[in-house]
Structure 1
Amino acid sequence: MRGTDGGTVRRALDSGDPLPGTSGFAGRLDGRLVRDVLGRRPLFGTPEDWGFAPSAVDAADPTPVPAGHVREPTPDGPADRRVWSLPDPPVATDDDAAVDAVERAVTEAVTAVDDDGLAVAFSGGVDSALVAAGVPDAPCYVAGFPDAGDVAAARDAAEAMDRDLRVVELAHANLERAVPEVVAATGRTDAMSVSIALPLYLVAERAAADGFDRLALGQGADELFGGYAKVVDPAADDRLDATTVRGAVRETLHALPDGIERDTLTLRAAGVDPVVPLLDDHIVEAALGLPDHLLATDDRRKVALRRAAADHLPPAVVDADKKAVQYGSLVSRELDRLARQAGFKRRMDRHVDRYVESLVDG
């Protein structure tokens, strides 16, 4: 069992408690595979995961165990059964108390991180800055092309926080080399997945070369606290079924296990293990009860998290408005440029995907 001990998981199974005070867990327990409610650790249905003889499961079908499920052997083969769902607490009515709860949970989680062998993936935004604040001796890393917004933001934030920042400056050669390695690690060739994974892979690779074996991320904050633009007015966004900000935030959480699988496989292939303190159970509990206006408004996202960070980070870092890593690093832009230079024009269907596939085939 990874992430906690077997006794904690057994008690959570017996009680039905989806948030038993861990930062996620996954593994084999009593002859079955178990994955926590948010899928914070990847788990696949391979013989190695089960610990049985190869005939016990289909070795050609290493499908992920769904978040909140157990995978059990049956006479007809492995079967998945849901055992946990995210709680749906009442909406908080006291804004100050709700923000205080977020602040306490975040502070406890980030300061509890062991900094031995640890580096921080640092973009200059509030999420990674909160993680970095909890481990003041850990070096911070950012990847991007020379004119990337993430590099500029990380430099400004590191200076304001008096932190050691190491910049992984990207070039086309980095991407061309790393694309097949990322695809081999994740099994994904779509442009979005690859452009997200590439800067993480290259940061992790550099951190591993510098002697670090763990990389702390701000992963999960956008999903929990309303960091995506689409949650601001979900009724007007056809990507969402929800009609309220709170409902949209819960909907975005459904995509978290898939992103965790991608990022974890990417980082492990580069030689480090991920550390994700902002997905601690106590933070999840504090976030789930937040009302719409403490999540996202027309002019501010992650409202409660930024208010909670106000006493811990410089104001410019608290209010930093950054893009997703694939855009802030300019990897998405430059991957598109490389695709077009290779003859995969934008008028072609899936032109970047096809370029990625050509690099893998080559």
Structure 2
Amino acid sequence: MAGGLTDETAVTLRGADSDTVRSALETGESLPGTRGFAGEIDGHLVRDVLGRQPLFFDGDDPDKWAFDRATLTDPTPLSAGHVVEPDGGQREVWSLPTPVAHDGPAAVTGLGEAIDASLGSVESDGLAIAFSGGIDSALLAARLDAPLYVAGFPDSHDVKAARESARLLGREVRVVELDHDALVETVPPVVRATGRTNTMDVEIALPLYLVARRAAADGFDRLAVGQGADELFGGYAKVARAPEDPRVEADTVRCARREILGSVPAQLERDVLALRGAGVEPVAPLLDDRVVEAGLALSGRLLVSDRGERKYALRLSAREWLPDRITFREKKALQYGTLVARELDRLARQAGFKRRMDDHVGQYIESLVE
């Protein structure tokens, strides 16, 4: 694999120093104190256990690899937690630990300390914050000295929530107001950056891309995001309803959370590539190894309370920094909170792609990039 980097830069390892990665390879330590890493080291391609840094090799020529999929003829993602050996074979070297479940105040305190340490280590130079007004981004806003940005249609939930939460925190938020022209113009660059045309991925990546593009235009080159919190802390209804929910196979809340964490690498690949395509480097403090380790140790009742409160431990720990009106606010998924999903559907129907058609929004997206 040596010499196979196809990016324009000479960087061969992102997210960690060589000594840290070498040690993790030798010991099998899956959470060695980073926010994720990927690249080449000692003739091996590596990607961390949660896939927080995307990495691709060329299916037509495995000796070629890149951080940016667009530079390869046949980009194939390296699986999270795997290495590619010099002979081209993939091998899993890291898997997430399964710590004993911890309950009660000490577990919540430990989580708060991990979040505090992670946020305290984030440099503010060149940093902006993607801010939707929910608990995840509000934690970033409460601790980081950086401007806040939200994207959405003027009457969207996210714009309203961001304005209210910013007021409660004594902050101002810069609103990237969306319209139909912005969506139509942004679909092609989002598809080019992510390599994806399926409806949900595009709906999620669009507002991320537009926030990042505005922040980059304002002179910022890093964007703090709250990615990973829903997956790590039990934010999904299907996790809260395990084992009754047919969308998960697990028979407990804790196991369902573990199952959902398996989707993180593919989601982060989409989000990181979209943000980089817009001109910023993402920073995800809630996916710091320290936070992940503390989150994995939470009991099922600290993921989802006896009353059905999701992300329960995160909410309890966040009360140190946030008012309850933010801490216990329910958050809509990005594509719905910004109204991007609704308006893409509207645009598709206006363009003749009716709902009776199979995946009518996906067909409309394809038409915009043909």
Q: Which runs of 5+ in 2 are unaligned?
A: 1-12, 66-70
Query: SS of 1:45's equivalent?
Result: strand
Whether contact under 8 Å (1:110, 1:133) holds in the other structure is no
Q: What is the CA deviation profile of residues 42-97 of structure 1, one whole-angstrom value per residue up to 9, with x for unaligned ones?
A: 01114999678xxxxx95332111000001121xxx2110001100011114x101
Q: 2:98 — aligned with what?
A: 88
Q: 1:315 — aligned with what?
A: 324
Q: 2:350 — aligned with what?
A: 341
Q: What is the CA deviation profile of residues 251-278 of structure 1, one whole-angstrom value per residue up to 9, with x for unaligned ones?
A: 1110000011101110111110100010
Instruction: Report the TM-score when normalising by structure 1.
Output: 0.94
Distance 1:127 1:2 in 2: 25
Alignment of 1:26-175 (within 5 A): 26-46=38-58, 60-74=73-87, 78-93=88-103, 95-135=104-144, 137-175=145-183
Distance 2:338 2:287 in 1: 24
Whether contact under 8 Å (1:121, 1:217) holds in the other structure is yes
Q: What is the CA deviation profile of residues 156-176 of structure 1, one whole-angstrom value per residue up to 9, with x for unaligned ones?
A: 000000112100000000000
Distance 1:64 1:146 in 2: 37
Whether contact under 8 Å (2:163, 2:172) holds in the other structure is no
Query: SS of 1:28's equivalent?
Result: strand
Query: SS of 2:96's equivalent?
Result: coil
Q: 2:254 — aligned with what?
A: 246
Query: SS of 1:166's equivalent?
Result: strand
Instruction: Give the drift of 1:280.
Output: 0.6
- Shift in alpha-carbon separation, 1:81–1:169, aligned structure 2, 3 A: same
Whether contact under 8 Å (1:33, 1:49) holds in the other structure is no
Q: Which runs of 5+ in 1 are unaligned?
A: 53-57
Segments ≥4 residues shifted beyond 2 Å: 46-52, 58-61
Distance 1:291 1:156 in 2: 32
Q: What is the CA deviation profile of residues 4-26 of structure 1, one whole-angstrom value per residue up to 9, with x for unaligned ones?
A: 11101111111111111111111
Instruction: Give the drift of 1:155.
Output: 0.3
Query: SS of 2:40's equivalent?
Result: strand
